A and B are shown apart, each in its own frame.
Chain A
Amino acid sequence: MVQVMKRRRTQKEQSDSIAAQMPESKTRLIEAIPIPSGDPLETLLLSSGGPVGLKDLELESEALGSIRAAGVELIVPLIGQGELLGALYLGPRLSDQPYSTDDRRLLGSLASQVAPAMKVAQLVREQQAEAKERERIQQELQVAALIQQTLLPKELPAIPGWHVDAFYRPARAVGGDFYDFIALDDGRLGVIIGDVTDKGVPAALVMATCRSMLRAAAQRHTSPAAVLADVNDALVPEIPPAMFVTCLYAIIDTEAGELVFANAGHNLPYVRKADGVIELRATGMPLGLMPAMPYDEKRYSMASGEEMVLTSDGITEAHDPNGEMYGFSRLMNRVARKPSNGDMVSAVVRDLEDFTGADVEQEDDITLVVVTRTSSAQDSAQTFEDIGRVLDTFTVASEEGNERIAIDRVTAVIVPLGLNSSRLERLKTAVGETVMNAMEHGNDNRPELDVGVEVSATEESISVRVTDQGGGRPIPDTMTPDLEAKLAGEQTPRGWGLFLIEQMVDDVRSTREGGAHTIELIMNREGAT
């Protein structure tokens, strides 16, 4: 009677047994009796160096009692690399003689050969099980990624006067990030960013459910707070325990630039303004935790050139190789600096990769949505990308000589910026000529029509925007005046304005919106005099 008892076993393995090849009537299968880890019998077997007879053995062991009761007389331990891999349980010899020294030596020799084979078999089984588990997880991740990517917007909204950009990169163990854009009545745009706790298929399914609920509620309510409250109540009975969803929902009136938003525990959005970055703060519990939760609703008016940046915690909670977190302040600092090419999404992602290291496996999904209010309602490509801090805005009536008022006001706000005197004088002349053109060509010298002037500055340059009221003649193309022809009386002595403007400043940009012209004068703050 022989029984192989394995220390590491599955339920099926516990029932495995080997019966000695003996006459059927004289064999009996001994039930596999496990030896608990830490049992004194385990210690004894590990230190025995060979088969252990139980006849006279005295040991405080529960397992020993059970094994004896099963009729075992000899235990042959199977030891590999100092570990008790299993044991052979042997009952009395068929001859009723005690086990001889030769028997024990033979069994010990057998055990020393069986043990390594068992170890290998165990490792192979474990590796097979791990491979299967990995394959299952991989398939699950593929399903999760498929669900997520299928539900994310395929296209970005194209709205005159606005620029919308988004970025989503899943972690290997796909998280539950999502974003969405919903076209609403009256030119309003719903913007959603969210994050489901947990990863993989469960998170993806909750994300899909939540997204559908948000889309449905967004059509029923005009208030973001009401939408979140509705979705929260619907989600609570559906969501698996210990899961919840953080979510920010904003509705943008794309005509007026008004933003109404509510937040269910998501990262606060940032807005890059002309004079710095602010957080858009509204409080509310994550969705799916508790029913009947109230949500704050806040408003913000986005000015031209302002940029709202929505992120997921995969960005702020990313770590560098030393374990330091990217964090909110680093993100805020990055958002505060307008990228020279205007691409905030790439700037943030690049900054994050510089911080974490490019080859490091991403810890969590990364999601970024950037909504910019550009200054032109017609063509975002023709907007004034370089608008910075607005220093002064004013109007002057279209009366000859009023360009001097504009020059003096612009000078007053620019002098403290330290522009050198030569460039200041040039800018003053350009401003005067531009305002004169706006009064004459744009407003037909009608005193009741104003010319608008806006002065702003970035670290690199000063911008003066001059806007007429439209309705006047189109701005003619700049031509280099032919002085000889003028002196010869073949041309009018006039026609110097546009030429002078272009000669005086570093860049001149022109846009037309609803018939009104805007000329933007750009003067770099550093450069040749």
Chain B
Amino acid sequence: MESLFEATVAESDGGPLVVMSGTVNRAAKEALEAAYDEATKMEGRVLLDFRGVDYINSTGIAVIVGILAMARAEDRVVAAFGLTDHYREVFNITRLADFMTIYDDETAAVAAG
């Protein structure tokens, strides 16, 4: 039922790209933090790609909050794209969207970089 979380890092014109897939919950913490650390070895904004994410729960939100806290501590800008309408709403309700620009798609996210 639960799809495993995976995160890989890639370069893009808009900055380092963290491509996620599977479920974002507490179990995703280690992999996501490792990917973020990897991404921050590169310059520029960190782009979180949620296109492959099928489920985010409150423990997953806590993991993302942790990433945003790390980014804030090192003045790193984080942006995101590929969220479904529902999770965009969740990010708005939780105010995560106040601390991370959310783009409609990769093109818009890269172009903004």
Listed in ascending order, the chain A residues whose CB lies under 8 Å from chain B are 400-405, 408, 422, 425-426, 429, 432-433, 436, 481, 483, 486-489, 492-497, 499-500, 503
Cα distance A178–B26 in the bound complex, in angstroms: 64
Query: What 6 pairs across the A-B complex have the smallest Cβ distances?
Result: A425-B86, A496-B58, A493-B65, A401-B2, A493-B62, A497-B58
Task: Note all chain B residues with C-beta closer than 8 A to A483.
Answer: 65, 94-96, 98-99
B90–A429 touching, CB < 8 Å: yes
Cα distance A426–B58 in the bound complex, in angstroms: 13
Q: Is B55 on the interface with A (CB-CB < 8 A)?
A: yes
Cβ contact of A486, chosen from B55, B69, B93, cutoff 8 A: B69
B86–A422 touching, CB < 8 Å: yes
A487–B99 touching, CB < 8 Å: yes
Known: A493-B66, A497-B58. A404 touches B1 (CB 8 A): yes
A503–B93 touching, CB < 8 Å: yes
The B contact surface, by secondary structure, is: helix
Q: How far is the CB of A405 from chain B (nearest CB, A)?
A: 6
Task: Note all chain B residues with C-beta closer than 8 A to A404.
Answer: 1-2, 23, 55
Q: How far is the CB of B90 from chain A (nearest CB, A)?
A: 7
Task: Note all chain A residues with C-beta closer than 8 A to B68.
Answer: 487
B62–A433 touching, CB < 8 Å: no
Cα distance A201–B62 in the bound complex, in angstroms: 76
Cα distance A291–B1 in the bound complex, in angstroms: 67
A487–B94 touching, CB < 8 Å: no
Q: List 25 A-B contacts (CB under 8 A).
A: A401-B1, A402-B1, A404-B1, A405-B1, A422-B89, A425-B84, A425-B85, A432-B57, A483-B65, A486-B69, A487-B69, A487-B72, A487-B99, A488-B69, A493-B62, A493-B65, A493-B69, A494-B62, A495-B62, A496-B61, A496-B62, A496-B94, A497-B58, A500-B61, A500-B93
A481–B94 touching, CB < 8 Å: yes
Q: How far is the CB of A394 from chain B (nearest CB, A)?
A: 14
Q: Is B32 on the interface with A (CB-CB < 8 A)?
A: no
Cα distance A500–B89 in the bound complex, in angstroms: 11
Q: Is B12 on the interface with A (CB-CB < 8 A)?
A: no
The A contact surface, by secondary structure, is: helix
Chain B interface bracket (under 10, 10 to 19, 20 to 34, 35 or more): 20 to 34
Q: List which B62-113 residues lie within 8 A (CB) of chain A.
A: 62-63, 65-66, 68-69, 72-73, 84-86, 89-90, 93-96, 98-99
Task: Note all chain A residues with C-beta closer than 8 A to B63.
Answer: 493
Task: Note all chain B residues with C-beta closer than 8 A to A426.
Answer: 86, 89
Cα distance A487–B2 in the bound complex, in angstroms: 28
Cβ contact of B65, chosen from A403, A429, A486, A497, cutoff 8 A: A486
Task: Note all chain B residues with C-beta closer than 8 A to A433.
Answer: 57-58
Task: Note all chain A residues with C-beta closer than 8 A to B90.
Answer: 429, 500
With A422-B86, A496-B61, A500-B93 given, name 17 new contacts (CB 8 A): A401-B2, A404-B1, A404-B2, A404-B23, A422-B85, A425-B85, A425-B86, A429-B86, A429-B90, A436-B59, A483-B96, A487-B72, A488-B69, A488-B72, A496-B62, A499-B94, A503-B93
Cα distance A174–B6 in the bound complex, in angstroms: 80
Task: Note all chain B residues with C-beta closer than 8 A to A408.
Answer: 1
Task: Note all chain B residues with C-beta closer than 8 A to A402.
Answer: 1
Task: Note all chain B residues with C-beta closer than 8 A to A497.
Answer: 58
Cα distance A106–B105 in the bound complex, in angstroms: 124
Task: Note all chain B residues with C-beta closer than 8 A to A492.
Answer: 62
A489–B69 touching, CB < 8 Å: yes
Task: Note all chain A residues with C-beta closer than 8 A to B61.
Answer: 496, 500
Cα distance A429–B65 in the bound complex, in angstroms: 18
Q: How far is the CB of B42 from chain A (nearest CB, A)?
A: 22
Cα distance A35–B65 in the bound complex, in angstroms: 113
Task: Note all chain A residues with C-beta closer than 8 A to B1.
Answer: 401-402, 404-405, 408
Task: Note all chain A residues with C-beta closer than 8 A to B95.
Answer: 483
Cα distance A306–B61 in the bound complex, in angstroms: 41
Task: Note all chain A residues with C-beta closer than 8 A to B73.
Answer: 489
Task: Note all chain B residues with C-beta closer than 8 A to A499.
Answer: 94
Known: A487-B72, A493-B62. A403 touches B96 (CB 8 A): no
